[in-house]
Amino acid sequence: MSVFSSSRARKVCGTIAAVGASALILAGCSGGTTPSESSAPPADREDLTLSIGTVLPQTGALSYLGPPEEAGVGLATAEINDAAKGITVEVEYGDSGDPDNKAYETTVPRLLGSDVQALIGAASSGVTKLFLDQAVSAGVITFSPANTSPDFTTWDDDNLYWRTAPSDLLQGEVLGNLIAEDGNATLGIIYLNDAYGTGLEGVVNETFTGSGGEVVASEPYNAGDTNFSAQVSSILAQNPDAIAVIGFEETSTIVPSFVNSGFDGSKFYFVDGNTSQWGTDMPVSIEGSKGTQPGPVLADDFQDRLKEQWVSQGDGSELVDFNYAAESYDATVLLALASLAANSSDPADIAAKLQEVSGGTGDGEKCDSFADCADLILDGKTVDYDGYSGGIAFDDAGDPTEATIGVFQYGADNTHTRLD
């Protein structure tokens, strides 16, 4: 697969720790604030209603991402509505599932039939590709907090596709350089044969090779596979120093297959799709293994608010993972700010303001909460929102030009902590 390249500039915020010569891990640059005191909208404005539908994974291979993403949307909605700035957000939650169980085939038509202005989702790039054209034809915004495929940059989307997650290009560069910087000279890769897996495999492969390493084996597998013995045998026959696993929940089957065949459990490298808090769900030790995830360090108060929100809207279970919670929160806030800036709930009008409110047009006053940004908009000013996912600054394609990639390492309990 050819590697996507981009000429757009990537802005760096906060403190920087080098992983390799060409990759950067960026620490969080915005902690956000809680809503300010409410103020009534100007008399020449009518109150707006923004209807959002979520297409996020309640089932399927990425179901562990559903709770933090839905909590992020829910928390932003509650705080926007509590701020009382002349816009009310309504949310209808729906299941994206995955390409195997196809829950999106029911969810998307239902939400479009409910006259939503925006869909938040999917988490999986492969799922979004299966319904994006349908949403574009309906004139509805699709705003993903987690899509990372480079393919969306050039998608024919009528300006209706946006995302707060960075392209796989950046994560792949960070991971490839991390593996090399850790002293590994040879690498084996096992990856899911879909848009997400092949995209990341291509960038990791090229980056690691470009750093002087050698990819001695790279083996795909298909969604729904349960036996990985052929791929495991092929990769282990080349005796790699490290193995990159690019996939989802099937990782808890793949990794034991390698370890039980004699591979060192501390020498795995994961990506955002499987850098999960595995705990006892991983039946072998992966202490010392590492993974990457987009997103800055989350402020403690934000995590606490997410946990409380999830208890109130979920099934009472505790929120354990926070993957893409900030990106989901920011997607909701940006949609509301764009609607307020446009003084309209029409999807095309909202989409026309998303780049501006993100700071992507190069002007605007910095603000880091919905309430503060809304006050500036109601005062007739242009805003540059920096949220919990950091700076965003959309380019013309709807991609963020500011991004954060974190590196995590697993401990003895098979849960990870972020490395400084």
pLDDT per residue as tens digits for the range 108-123: 999 999 999 999 999 9
pLDDT over 70 at 372, yes or no: yes
Residue 212: φ, ψ to 5°: 105, -5
pLDDT over 60 at 243, yes or no: yes
The radius of gyration of the chain from alpha carbons, rounded to an integer in Å, stands at 21
Residue type present at position 339: S
| Residue 278 neighbours by CB distance under 10 Å | 23
| pLDDT score for 13 | 32
> Mean pLDDT throughout 43-57?
91
Residue type present at position 360: G
Strand order in the sheet with 161-163: 87-95, 48-56, 118-121, 141-144, 161-163
Structure tokens, 386: 């920096």
Q: Between these two residues, 404 and 40, which has the higher pLDDT value? A: 404
Question: By CB neighbour count within 10 A (0-12 exposed, 13-18 middle, 19+ buried), where does 206 fall?
Answer: middle
Structure tokens, 227: 């036996």
3-state helix, strand, coil in the chain (%, to 5): 35, 20, 45
> Mean pLDDT throughout 75-81?
98
Structure tokens, 151: 């393919």
pLDDT category, 43, cuts 50, 70, 90? low
Q: Between these two residues, 30 and 274, which has the higher pLDDT value? A: 274
Q: Which of 40-49, 235-244, 260-269 has the lowest mean pLDDT?
A: 40-49
User: Which domains does the chain show, CATH number per domain?
Assistant: 29-166+298-400 (3.40.50.2300), 169-293+406-418 (3.40.50.2300)
- The residue with tokens 């591979």 is 263
Q: Which of 30-34, 264-268, 321-325, 352-356 has the lowest mean pLDDT?
A: 30-34
Residue 246: φ, ψ to 5°: -115, 100
Q: What pTM, to 2 d.p., does this model score?
A: 0.80
Q: How many angstroms separate the CA atoms of 102 and 106, rounded?
A: 8
pLDDT category, 42, cuts 50, 70, 90? low
**Both ends of the chain: CA-CA distance in Å?**
33
| pLDDT score for 35 | 37
> Mean pLDDT throughout 101-106?
97
> Mean pLDDT throughout 95-116?
96
| pLDDT score for 212 | 97
- The residue with tokens 């990159």 is 244
Angle at 146 between CA 142 and CA 147, to 5 degrees: 65
pLDDT category, 315, cuts 50, 70, 90? confident
pLDDT over 60 at 90, yes or no: yes
Q: Between these two residues, 3 and 50, which has the higher pLDDT value? A: 50
pLDDT tens digits, one per residue of 147-201: 988 899 999 999 999 999 988 888 999 999 999 999 999 999 999 998 889 989 9
Q: Which of 272, 238, 236 is nearest to 254 (CA)?
A: 236
Q: Which of 293, 249, 253 is nearest to 269 (CA)?
A: 293
Q: Between these two residues, 80 and 168, which has the higher pLDDT value? A: 80
pLDDT tens digits, one per residue of 389-408: 999 999 999 999 988 899 99
| pLDDT score for 295 | 85
